[in-house]
Amino acid sequence: MLSSLIPASRIATPLPGQRTILHGGDYNPDQWLPDHPDILDQDARLMREAGINSISIGIFSWAALEPKPDVFTFDWLDRVFDAQQKLGNAVILATPTGAMPAWLAEKYPEARRVDRRGLRAAWRDRHNHCWTSPAYHDRAAIINAQLAHRYKGHPALKMWHISNELSGECFCELCRAKFADWLKARYGTLDHLNSHYWAGFWSKLATRWEHVEPTDYAIDAMMIDWNRFNRDQLIAWYRFEASILRPITPEIPITTNFMGTSWNIDYATIAGEVDVVCDDQYPAYDADSPHLFRAAAHNSMKNSLYRCFKTRGELAGKGKTTFFLMECCPGAVQWKTPQKLKRPGVHRLEMLQAIAAGADGVSYFQFRAGRGGHEKLHGAVVEHAIGLSPDLARQSRTFQGVAELSRLYTRLAPLLGTGVAPEVAIVHDWESRLAQRFSAGTGVSNERYDDVVVDHFEPFFARGIPVDVVSTGHDLSPYKLVILPQLWVMTPLLALKLRKYVESGGTLLATFDTGHTDESNRIHIPGAGDKTGAIPGCGLTELFGLWVEEVDRLAADVPRALKTLDPALGTLAGREVAALTHLTTARPLAEFADDFYAGRPALTVNTVGRGHAMYLATRLDAPSQVSLCNHLIDRAKLTTILPHPLPPGVTAQLRGAGNDAFLFLLNFSTSPQTVNLGTLTLTDLETSEPVTGATHLPPLASKVYRAN
Ligand code: GAL
């Protein structure tokens, strides 16, 4: 029965021919070798004991690899490669461009970034190079080519890791000139640019391309463009580094690590560049928090987004692969306050949550904690208390937790390369979030973008119904239900896609703040002959059968009473925002019940073709989101995996292909819970015991069952 609910086909794993879940970490032995020449042997022993099967090496090692210009010291790295090969481990080799050595910063000041005040940075920190600097390009090309030639053909080399968490902006003259070229390519003429920028505002009409000032918040469309430009700078840099490596090692996949849903880096676009999608995640779940389940839902929302980058629709790019959680922490994260230890069970929950969502690799920052430096108090597989002693590793809670996971992962091998096949998609759009952020006046709405996405994700997560989180470019046709939270930017092409989706039988739910602006963040307005308003834009007023007149934006959590008109919806309550709409063909399902807009629609439905377009004019509170989710399950006839509702704090996730179906039960609560599996008969992956009916989950437990 379980296997009938999952997709039949397999896709590629992060590493070609991968046979186990990747379980490894950033490894920095170069920081240890000068004082501890035997560190490689000690670590090999510990890696074997922990079941570590891959390492990411050399991420910030430029000074250790090229201590002086064109003087290369690869001997230590040779030894690491050979030691890893003996262990049978995969080496993920980084290019070291995420941090420049002193000689480079000194010899080529242009390589250092210039900040928004026009000041060239001192040699400090990391992730600090100018994107345009010819000298930095030259030096990166040299070290990358050296690395590629040296390790080409080494059996342990399995993947390239370009730089680290590519991010940031540079305001030097070279980058500004490149921005001017980027604008010319996008707009062609200054008249066109001025029109898109609404540049008559505060006399901002540009008469030379160089007049466009990337720090000028007055022109919101320009701020969005500056972010798009920086995304393209990042892509150009990635492509540049990859162009050095690819011809020398054509068979080795190339990637870089992303940072979740960072507001200013449009990973949905960048994902098309990399061979494997990798995320860095530090949720630092607080087991004692009343918001633990919400935090888990937030993380699963991100996992679903990362899964979909390369497994669904047009963004599949260079072929479909599962994703890789490149960095996370087995212990306490030093940059979180307070730095609370992970409670027993929490790390395992976090890892199985990622694997359930489609990850085929879960790795750490880092394998061994450093003794000094800014990150010395960051959790690691080998923490300070273990030092160099395998005996102490056997007594370490964190280390043993990692080792236990390794044993479980070997049993999970049949799910490698498999996916998840949801009937529901939520659209996550970086452009909309960015555009709202730069629209002074949308108040809290721009800060809570991801939160509103999670509002809609969480009730499905709590019902054990899988959800894809996709970009606007994805194909929506596989889904029975599509949700658009705050899809602020609307283009004619996207509107057409949404219309077709509904006409052919889909259920579409859009929230307040959908379709307010075009791609230059100009508000959609009605034309002279129009009889209705123009929001939601690009003709979507017709699809939703309503138009938005004005929006009441309230402080966080200010309630809005609602009256439900359809008894099947139960009781609903709104908060924070009220879009005041006029209905044309839509039917109200709920209305506002207080303030001057009592009686105005709060939730509506419009029947178009074979489908339904719904509009939610407020942010619902959590219990109301559950009621709405139940209504949507019925309306869109969604499949539920488990026959009975799940207890609070528990999610069920299904992953697999063909006859390899795995059910994950994850208890994100500190209370014991009982899940009713009904007549399903499964096998506990660890105990091999049969499981059916009422299944007991201790606090913070995570279980994996196999379909028989
Ligand atoms: C990541 C970064 C790592 C390390 C880690 C600490 O963002 O890529 O190098 O700094 O954070 O949590």
| CA 350 to ligand 1 center in whole angstroms | 17
Choose which residue among 127, 280, 326, 377 to substitute to test ligand 1 binding: the one with the highest number of ligand atoms within 8 A of its C-beta.
Answer: 280
Instruction: Report how far residue 397's alpha carbon sits from residue 387's, in angstroms, rounded to the nearest whole number.
Output: 14
Chain centroid to Cα 2, Å, comes to: 28
**Phi, psi dihedrals of residue 477, rounded to the nearest 5°:** -60, -25
Instruction: Report how far residue 434's alpha carbon sits from residue 655's, in angstroms, rounded to the nearest whole number.
Output: 33
Atom 10 of ligand 1: nearest residue by CA position: 375
Residue 217 is predicted with a pLDDT of 93
State the pLDDT confidence band at 704, using cuts at 50, 70 and 90: very high
Q: Which of 210, 205, 203 is nearest to 184 (CA)?
A: 210
Residue 441 is predicted with a pLDDT of 85
Mean pLDDT of 246-274: 96
Q: Which of 193, 165, 200 is nearest to 179 (CA)?
A: 193
Please work out whether the CB of residue 370 comes within 6 Å of at least one atom of ligand 1: no
| CA 590 to ligand 1 center in whole angstroms | 46
| CA 649 to ligand 1 center in whole angstroms | 29
108: three-class secondary structure by DSSP: coil
Residue 443 is predicted with a pLDDT of 65
Please work out whether the CB of residue 281 comes within 6 Å of at least one atom of ligand 1: no
pLDDT tens-digit readout, 499-509: 999 999 999 99
Q: What angle do CA 81, 85, 86 make, to 5 degrees?
A: 120
State the pLDDT confidence band at 691, using cuts at 50, 70 and 90: very high
Instruction: Report how far residue 26's alpha carbon sits from residue 317's, in angstroms, rounded to the nearest whole number.
Output: 27
Q: What angle do CA 490, 473, 503 make, to 5 degrees?
A: 70
Choose which residue among 327, 375, 381 to substitute to test ligand 1 binding: the one with the highest number of ligand atoms within 8 A of its C-beta.
Answer: 327
Residue 510 is predicted with a pLDDT of 98
Please work out whether the CB of residue 286 comes within 6 Å of at least one atom of ligand 1: no
Please work out whether the CB of residue 375 comes within 6 Å of at least one atom of ligand 1: yes
Please work out whether the CB of residue 327 comes within 6 Å of at least one atom of ligand 1: yes
pLDDT tens-digit readout, 488-501: 999 999 999 999 99
Residue 314 is predicted with a pLDDT of 41
Residue 640 is predicted with a pLDDT of 86
Instruction: Report how far residue 421's alpha carbon sits from residue 412's, in angstroms, rounded to the nearest whole number.
Output: 19
Eight-class DSSP state of 413:
G
pLDDT tens-digit readout, 598-655: 999 999 999 999 999 999 999 999 999 999 999 999 999 999 888 889 999 999 999 9
| CA 704 to ligand 1 center in whole angstroms | 29
Give the position, in ligand 1's atom list, of the atom nearest the Cα of 257: 8
| CA 144 to ligand 1 center in whole angstroms | 22
Please work out whether the CB of residue 549 comes within 6 Å of at least one atom of ligand 1: no
Choose which residue among 55, 126, 161, 165 to substitute to test ligand 1 binding: the one with the highest number of ligand atoms within 8 A of its C-beta.
Answer: 165
Please work out whether the CB of residue 581 comes within 6 Å of at least one atom of ligand 1: no
Instruction: Report how far residue 598's alpha carbon sits from residue 193's, in angstroms, rounded to the nearest whole number.
Output: 43
Choose which residue among 257, 365, 376 to substitute to test ligand 1 binding: the one with the highest number of ligand atoms within 8 A of its C-beta.
Answer: 365
Q: Which two tokens stand for residue 672?
A: 């014991």
H/E segment holding residue 541:
helix 540-544
Residue 106 is predicted with a pLDDT of 98
| CA 437 to ligand 1 center in whole angstroms | 26
pLDDT tens-digit readout, 163-180: 999 999 999 999 999 999
Angle between the N-to-C axes of helices 134-151 and 220-248, in degrees from 0 to 180, rounded to the nearest 10: 30
State the pLDDT confidence band at 244, using cuts at 50, 70 and 90: very high
H/E segment holding residue 134:
helix 134-151
State the pLDDT confidence band at 154, using cuts at 50, 70 and 90: very high
Whether the bond between 536 and the residue before it is cis, its omega within 30 degrees of 0, is yes
DSSP code per residue over 566-624: SGGG---EEEEEEEEEEESS-EEEEEE-SSTTTTSEEEEEEEETTEEEEEE-EEEPHHH
Please work out whether the CB of residue 28 comes within 6 Å of at least one atom of ligand 1: no
Q: Active-site residue numbers? A: 165, 327
Mean pLDDT of 107-119: 98
| CA 55 to ligand 1 center in whole angstroms | 15
Diameter over CA atoms, the chain: 81
Q: What 3 state SS string does 268-286 have?
A: HHHCCCCCCCEEECCCCCC
H/E segment holding residue 158:
strand 157-161
The answer, yes or no, to whether residue 511 has pLDDT greater than 90, is yes
How distant, in Å, are the alpha carbons of 168, 258, 307, 426, 431 from that of 265? 9, 9, 17, 19, 10
Please work out whether the CB of residue 282 comes within 6 Å of at least one atom of ligand 1: yes
Residue 5 is predicted with a pLDDT of 65
pLDDT tens-digit readout, 18-40: 999 999 999 999 999 999 999 99
The answer, yes or no, to whether residue 684 has pLDDT greater than 50, is yes
Eight-class DSSP state of 491:
-
| CA 282 to ligand 1 center in whole angstroms | 9
Atom 3 of ligand 1: nearest residue by CA position: 365
Average pLDDT of the chain, as a whole number: 95
Residue 7 is predicted with a pLDDT of 60
| Torsion sign over Cα 474, 477, 483, 486 | positive
What percent of the chain is modeled with pLDDT above 90? 92
Contacts of 388 (CB under 8 A, 6+ apart): 36, 38, 39, 42
Residue 444 is predicted with a pLDDT of 56
Please work out whether the CB of residue 660 comes within 6 Å of at least one atom of ligand 1: no
State the pLDDT confidence band at 542, using cuts at 50, 70 and 90: very high
Please work out whether the CB of residue 161 comes within 6 Å of at least one atom of ligand 1: no
Burial 374-397 (b: 16+ CB within 10 A, else e): ebebbbbbbbeebebeeeebeebe
Angle between the N-to-C axes of helices 449-463 and 430-437, in degrees from 0 to 180, rounded to the nearest 10: 140
| CA 280 to ligand 1 center in whole angstroms | 8
Please work out whether the CB of residue 198 comes within 6 Å of at least one atom of ligand 1: no
What percent of the chain is modeled with pLDDT above 70? 97
| CA 374 to ligand 1 center in whole angstroms | 11
pTM above 0.75, yes or no: yes
Atom 5 of ligand 1: nearest residue by CA position: 365
Please work out whether the CB of residue 164 comes within 6 Å of at least one atom of ligand 1: yes
pLDDT tens-digit readout, 372-425: 999 999 999 999 999 999 999 999 999 999 999 999 999 999 999 998 889 999
| CA 365 to ligand 1 center in whole angstroms | 7
Residue 315 is predicted with a pLDDT of 42
Give the position, in ligand 1's atom list, of the atom nearest the Cα of 333: 12
Q: Which of 332, 324, 323 is nearest to 398 (CA)?
A: 332
pLDDT tens-digit readout, 344-362: 999 999 999 999 999 999 9
Rg (the chain; Cα; Å) = 26
The answer, yes or no, to whether residue 206 has pLDDT greater than 60, is yes
State the pLDDT confidence band at 4, using cuts at 50, 70 and 90: low
Please work out whether the CB of residue 165 comes within 6 Å of at least one atom of ligand 1: yes
Please work out whether the CB of residue 378 comes within 6 Å of at least one atom of ligand 1: yes
Residue 1 is predicted with a pLDDT of 63
**Phi, psi dihedrals of residue 40, rounded to the nearest 5°:** -65, -40
Choose which residue among 62, 95, 164 to substitute to test ligand 1 binding: the one with the highest number of ligand atoms within 8 A of its C-beta.
Answer: 164
